[in-house]
Amino acid sequence: MKQLSELTGLYSLSKTLRFELKPIGKTLEHIESKGLIAQDEQRAEEYKKVKDIIDRYHKKFITMCLSDFKFEQNSLETYVALAEDTNRDEKAFDEIKKTLRKQIVETFKKGGSYSDLFKKELILKHLPEFVSDEEEKKMIANFSKFTTYFNGFNENRKNMYSDEPVGGINLVHT
Protein backbone atom coordinates (compact mmCIF):
# COMPACT_ATOMS: atom_id res chain seq x y z
CA MET A 1 0.00 0.00 0.00
CA LYS A 2 1.29 3.45 -0.92
CA GLN A 3 1.95 6.10 1.65
CA LEU A 4 0.03 9.37 1.48
CA SER A 5 3.31 11.20 0.81
CA GLU A 6 3.76 9.16 -2.37
CA LEU A 7 0.38 10.26 -3.69
CA THR A 8 0.63 13.98 -3.05
CA GLY A 9 2.29 16.53 -5.27
CA LEU A 10 2.05 14.35 -8.37
CA TYR A 11 -0.07 16.74 -10.41
CA SER A 12 -0.23 20.48 -10.62
CA LEU A 13 -3.30 22.04 -9.14
CA SER A 14 -5.12 24.75 -11.05
CA LYS A 15 -7.16 27.31 -9.19
CA THR A 16 -9.21 30.11 -10.60
CA LEU A 17 -8.90 33.34 -8.72
CA ARG A 18 -11.39 36.10 -9.24
CA PHE A 19 -10.40 39.65 -8.66
CA GLU A 20 -12.17 42.89 -9.28
CA LEU A 21 -10.22 46.01 -9.97
CA LYS A 22 -11.88 49.09 -8.57
CA PRO A 23 -10.33 52.39 -9.52
CA ILE A 24 -9.88 54.79 -6.65
CA GLY A 25 -8.53 58.28 -6.14
CA LYS A 26 -6.83 59.90 -9.12
CA THR A 27 -7.37 56.83 -11.31
CA LEU A 28 -11.12 57.04 -10.82
CA GLU A 29 -11.04 60.79 -11.47
CA HIS A 30 -9.03 60.25 -14.67
CA ILE A 31 -11.43 57.58 -15.97
CA GLU A 32 -14.42 59.79 -15.26
CA SER A 33 -12.90 62.99 -16.65
CA LYS A 34 -11.82 61.31 -19.90
CA GLY A 35 -15.12 59.45 -20.30
CA LEU A 36 -13.30 56.16 -20.86
CA ILE A 37 -16.22 53.96 -19.79
CA ALA A 38 -18.61 55.69 -22.21
CA GLN A 39 -16.01 55.43 -25.00
CA ASP A 40 -15.63 51.71 -24.33
CA GLU A 41 -19.39 51.18 -24.37
CA GLN A 42 -19.66 53.08 -27.66
CA ARG A 43 -16.78 51.07 -29.15
CA ALA A 44 -18.51 47.83 -28.11
CA GLU A 45 -21.66 48.91 -30.00
CA GLU A 46 -19.68 50.07 -33.03
CA TYR A 47 -17.69 46.81 -33.04
CA LYS A 48 -20.85 44.89 -33.97
CA LYS A 49 -21.59 47.30 -36.82
CA VAL A 50 -18.02 47.28 -38.13
CA LYS A 51 -18.08 43.47 -38.14
CA ASP A 52 -21.10 43.70 -40.44
CA ILE A 53 -19.18 46.10 -42.69
CA ILE A 54 -16.24 43.67 -42.77
CA ASP A 55 -18.63 40.85 -43.72
CA ARG A 56 -19.98 42.99 -46.57
CA TYR A 57 -16.40 43.62 -47.70
CA HIS A 58 -15.65 39.87 -47.67
CA LYS A 59 -18.83 39.18 -49.66
CA LYS A 60 -17.79 41.77 -52.26
CA PHE A 61 -14.25 40.36 -52.36
CA ILE A 62 -15.49 36.78 -52.85
CA THR A 63 -17.97 37.86 -55.53
CA MET A 64 -15.25 39.81 -57.34
CA CYS A 65 -12.80 36.89 -57.22
CA LEU A 66 -15.33 34.32 -58.39
CA SER A 67 -17.06 36.45 -61.03
CA ASP A 68 -14.85 35.09 -63.83
CA PHE A 69 -13.73 31.91 -62.07
CA LYS A 70 -13.81 28.61 -63.94
CA PHE A 71 -12.62 25.26 -62.66
CA GLU A 72 -9.75 23.66 -64.51
CA GLN A 73 -10.81 21.47 -67.41
CA ASN A 74 -12.55 18.22 -66.43
CA SER A 75 -12.12 18.73 -62.67
CA LEU A 76 -15.76 19.67 -62.07
CA GLU A 77 -16.97 16.92 -64.38
CA THR A 78 -14.84 14.41 -62.46
CA TYR A 79 -16.32 15.65 -59.18
CA VAL A 80 -19.91 15.32 -60.48
CA ALA A 81 -19.24 11.83 -61.84
CA LEU A 82 -17.75 10.68 -58.53
CA ALA A 83 -20.48 12.38 -56.48
CA GLU A 84 -23.18 10.52 -58.44
CA ASP A 85 -21.36 7.16 -58.34
CA THR A 86 -22.69 5.05 -55.47
CA ASN A 87 -19.67 2.73 -55.76
CA ARG A 88 -17.13 5.52 -55.96
CA ASP A 89 -13.54 5.34 -54.85
CA GLU A 90 -13.64 7.53 -51.70
CA LYS A 91 -9.93 8.30 -51.92
CA ALA A 92 -10.33 9.59 -55.49
CA PHE A 93 -13.42 11.55 -54.43
CA ASP A 94 -11.50 13.20 -51.55
CA GLU A 95 -8.66 14.05 -53.95
CA ILE A 96 -10.93 15.77 -56.46
CA LYS A 97 -12.61 17.76 -53.66
CA LYS A 98 -9.17 18.80 -52.46
CA THR A 99 -8.23 19.85 -56.00
CA LEU A 100 -11.39 21.94 -56.39
CA ARG A 101 -10.87 23.66 -53.01
CA LYS A 102 -7.28 24.51 -53.97
CA GLN A 103 -8.41 26.02 -57.28
CA ILE A 104 -10.92 28.26 -55.49
CA VAL A 105 -8.45 29.31 -52.80
CA GLU A 106 -5.80 30.12 -55.41
CA THR A 107 -8.32 32.42 -57.07
CA PHE A 108 -8.89 34.20 -53.75
CA LYS A 109 -5.15 34.58 -53.17
CA LYS A 110 -4.82 36.32 -56.53
CA GLY A 111 -7.48 38.86 -55.46
CA GLY A 112 -6.03 42.34 -55.05
CA SER A 113 -6.54 42.82 -51.30
CA TYR A 114 -6.25 39.20 -50.14
CA SER A 115 -3.00 39.77 -48.25
CA ASP A 116 -4.66 42.55 -46.21
CA LEU A 117 -7.97 40.82 -45.43
CA PHE A 118 -6.85 39.67 -42.00
CA LYS A 119 -4.54 42.53 -41.03
CA LYS A 120 -4.92 46.06 -39.72
CA GLU A 121 -4.76 47.34 -43.32
CA LEU A 122 -8.33 46.13 -43.77
CA ILE A 123 -9.48 48.69 -41.16
CA LEU A 124 -6.95 51.39 -42.03
CA LYS A 125 -7.06 51.27 -45.83
CA HIS A 126 -9.67 49.06 -47.47
CA LEU A 127 -12.81 49.62 -45.41
CA PRO A 128 -12.63 53.45 -45.57
CA GLU A 129 -12.43 53.14 -49.36
CA PHE A 130 -15.21 50.55 -49.42
CA VAL A 131 -17.92 52.48 -47.56
CA SER A 132 -19.53 55.67 -48.75
CA ASP A 133 -21.73 56.39 -45.72
CA GLU A 134 -20.11 59.04 -43.50
CA GLU A 135 -21.37 57.43 -40.28
CA GLU A 136 -19.77 54.11 -41.27
CA LYS A 137 -16.52 55.89 -42.18
CA LYS A 138 -16.50 57.49 -38.72
CA MET A 139 -17.08 54.14 -36.98
CA ILE A 140 -14.23 52.55 -38.95
CA ALA A 141 -11.96 55.48 -38.11
CA ASN A 142 -12.75 54.96 -34.41
CA PHE A 143 -10.98 51.59 -34.67
CA SER A 144 -7.84 52.90 -36.38
CA LYS A 145 -5.91 52.52 -33.10
CA PHE A 146 -7.89 49.50 -31.95
CA THR A 147 -7.51 47.10 -34.87
CA THR A 148 -6.64 44.24 -32.51
CA TYR A 149 -10.31 44.17 -31.46
CA PHE A 150 -10.81 42.20 -34.68
CA ASN A 151 -8.03 39.59 -34.30
CA GLY A 152 -10.35 36.72 -33.34
CA PHE A 153 -12.97 37.79 -35.86
CA ASN A 154 -10.33 37.93 -38.60
CA GLU A 155 -9.07 34.46 -37.69
CA ASN A 156 -12.60 33.13 -38.11
CA ARG A 157 -12.92 34.83 -41.49
CA LYS A 158 -9.54 33.44 -42.53
CA ASN A 159 -11.05 29.96 -42.19
CA MET A 160 -13.45 30.79 -45.04
CA TYR A 161 -10.47 30.98 -47.37
CA SER A 162 -8.85 27.73 -46.29
CA ASP A 163 -8.37 24.85 -48.68
CA GLU A 164 -8.81 22.39 -45.81
CA PRO A 165 -12.13 20.59 -45.26
CA VAL A 166 -13.83 22.16 -42.25
CA GLY A 167 -16.74 20.93 -40.18
CA GLY A 168 -17.72 18.22 -42.62
CA ILE A 169 -18.04 20.66 -45.51
CA ASN A 170 -15.76 19.39 -48.20
CA LEU A 171 -16.35 21.97 -50.89
CA VAL A 172 -16.55 25.75 -50.76
CA HIS A 173 -20.08 26.91 -51.60
CA THR A 174 -21.01 30.49 -52.53
Q: Is residue 5 part of a domain?
A: no
Does residue 29 lie in a domain region?
no
Q: Domain range holding 134?
A: 37-159
99: in domain: yes
pLDDT at 1: 66
Domain assignment present for 129: yes
Q: Is residue 25 part of a domain?
A: no
pLDDT, one tens digit per residue, over 87-103 is 999 999 999 999 999 99
pTM for the full predicted model? 0.75
Tell me what percent of the residues of the chain surpass a pLDDT of 70: 94
Residues 152 and 54: their CA atoms lie apart, in Å, by 13
Alpha helices in the chain, H assignment, sequence order? 4-7, 25-34, 36-66, 75-84, 90-109, 120-121, 127-130, 134-141, 151-159
According to the model, what pLDDT value does residue 167 have?
A: 58
Residue 169 lies in a domain: no
Cβ 161 vs Cβ 62: under 8 Å: no
Q: Is residue 7 part of a domain?
A: no
Structural domain total, the chain: 1
pLDDT digits (tens, 9 = 90+) for 109-162: 998 899 999 999 999 999 999 999 999 999 999 999 999 999 999 999 998 898
Cβ proximity of 45 and 70 under 8 Å = no
* Residue 97 lies inside a defined structural domain of this protein: yes
